[in-house]
């Protein structure tokens, strides 16, 4: 029986999808010997090979888990931290690497896909004037980053100040820009480099202001890209489309002009969204509870990592 049929028989609605996408129900298998993936408050990224990397904060296999294209658990990245809140995989001239700031450790890492540390930027590299202070100590709460085409790094302090910190490809600090006062933002949760434009821009998920914003790579505010977003937690781009993962139970695809192309997985059931406690018994294929990480593979298929104590990864396949 098709895995979607029971929901039709029970009188439950199926997710509204663009004609371009289909749901891959229950795509991710449990890690070997486990009953659940683990406590997820992280992100998802796809390697050029098509393997799916997911950051998991809790459970026996916490860290960065790796799945193949069919959803089978392969391994954990050796030595990868358990506090990657936002991370990406990017391929540059010096190879393919994992880039991510540690939410608890506050440092910024560049790792090989097998876990070797290539770059470790300590939080002391960021000037104290761009940090928050607690008990007379300056701190950051770095939530996400991305890599520009030239290899430069852009890291956002989304749980503290909304400043974006710019480093060159060697890890040398360049400058900081943005911030809640200048941007009028409130929790610039995650960012991505928007390569649909020339020159590329930063696309930011301004979560509590319910909008997506654009900034230039030199720090100029370029404007609001999309409004009325359901608490956007993550953004990614592929081809001419951008996607926002929305904590209130939806993902939205946008065209280059910021117009809605499609809504995916919109969950309107009371009490089922913006929570990490929804039990698996209430999960429905293709419906979200709290999207927290988004990524496309090379074919344009969309992967969404949930904010959930149980661990859940969605896959939507782009029709060929």
Pairing of strands 153-156, 221-226: unpaired
The string of pLDDT tens digits covering residues 3-58 is 333 333 333 444 545 568 999 999 999 998 899 999 999 999 999 999 999 999 99
Q: Which domain holds residue 70?
A: 5-318
The string of pLDDT tens digits covering residues 162-219 is 999 999 999 999 999 999 999 999 999 999 999 999 999 999 999 999 999 999 999 9
Rg (C-alpha) for the chain, rounded Å, is 19
How much is the pLDDT for 7? 34
CATH number where 272 lies: 2.120.10.30
**CA gap 96, 49 in Å, rounded:** 10
When pLDDT is cut at 50, 70 and 90, the band that residue 140 belongs to is very high
In this predicted structure, the answer to whether residue 85 has a pLDDT above a threshold of 70 is: yes
- What's the number of domains the chain is made of? 1
Contact 56, 64 (CB under 8 A): yes
Collect all residues with Cβ–Cβ distance below 8 Å to 317 and sequence separation of at least 6.
Answer: 21, 22, 23, 24, 301
Q: Render the burial of 110-128: b for 16+ CB within 10 Å, e for the rest.
A: bbebeeeeebebebeebee
pTM above 0.85, yes or no: yes
Residue 304 to residues 83, 128, 133, 244, 259, Cα–Cα distance (Å): 18, 34, 34, 10, 21
**CA gap 228, 188 in Å, rounded:** 15
**CA gap 69, 199 in Å, rounded:** 32
Closest CA to 306 of 79, 298, 281, 286: 286
How much is the pLDDT for 299? 95
How much is the pLDDT for 18? 59
Pairing of strands 88-92, 163-167: unpaired
**CA gap 296, 193 in Å, rounded:** 14
Place of tokens 């298998």: 29
Contact 235, 203 (CB under 8 A): yes
Contact 110, 118 (CB under 8 A): yes
In this predicted structure, the answer to whether residue 153 has a pLDDT above a threshold of 90 is: yes
């Amino acid at each position: 029986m098709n895995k979607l049929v029971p929901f039709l028989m029970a009188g439950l609605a199926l997710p509204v999808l663009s004609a371009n996408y289909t749901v891959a129900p229950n795509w991710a298998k449990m890690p070997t010997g486990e009953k659940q993936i683990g406590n997820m408050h992280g992100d998802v990224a796809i390697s050029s090979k098509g393997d799916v990397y997911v950051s998991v904060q809790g459970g026996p296999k916490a860290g960065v888990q790796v799945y193949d294209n069919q959803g089978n658990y392969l391994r954990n990245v050796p030595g990868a931290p358990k506090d990657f809140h936002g991370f990406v995989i990017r391929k540059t001239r010096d190879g393919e690497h994992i880039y991510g700031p540690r939410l608890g450790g506050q440092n910024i890492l560049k790792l090989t896909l097998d876990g070797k540390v290539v770059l470790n930027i300590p939080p002391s590299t960021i000037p104290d004037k761009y940090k928050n202070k607690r008990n007379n100590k300056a701190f950051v709460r770095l939530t996400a980053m991305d890599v520009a085409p030239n290899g430069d790094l852009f890291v956002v302090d989304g749980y503290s100040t909304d400043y974006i910190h710019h480093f060159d490809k060697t890890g040398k600090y360049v400058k900081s820009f943005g911030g809640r006062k200048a941007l009028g933002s409130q929790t610039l949760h995650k960012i991505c480099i928007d390569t649909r434009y020339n020159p590329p821009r930063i696309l930011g998920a301004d979560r509590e202001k319910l909008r997506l914003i654009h900034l230039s790579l030199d720090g100029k505010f370029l404007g609001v890209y999309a409004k009325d977003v359901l608490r956007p937690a993550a953004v990614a781009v592929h081809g001419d489309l951008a996607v926002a993962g929305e904590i209130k139970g939806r993902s939205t695809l946008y065209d280059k002009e910021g117009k809605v192309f499609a809504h995916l997985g919109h969950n309107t059931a009371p009490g089922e969204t913006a929570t990490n406690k929804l039990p698996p018994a209430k999960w429905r294929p293709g419906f979200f509870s709290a999207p927290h990480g988004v990524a496309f593979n090379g074919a344009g298929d969309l992967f969404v990592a949930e904010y959930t104590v149980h661990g859940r990864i969605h896959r939507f396949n782009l029709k060929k």
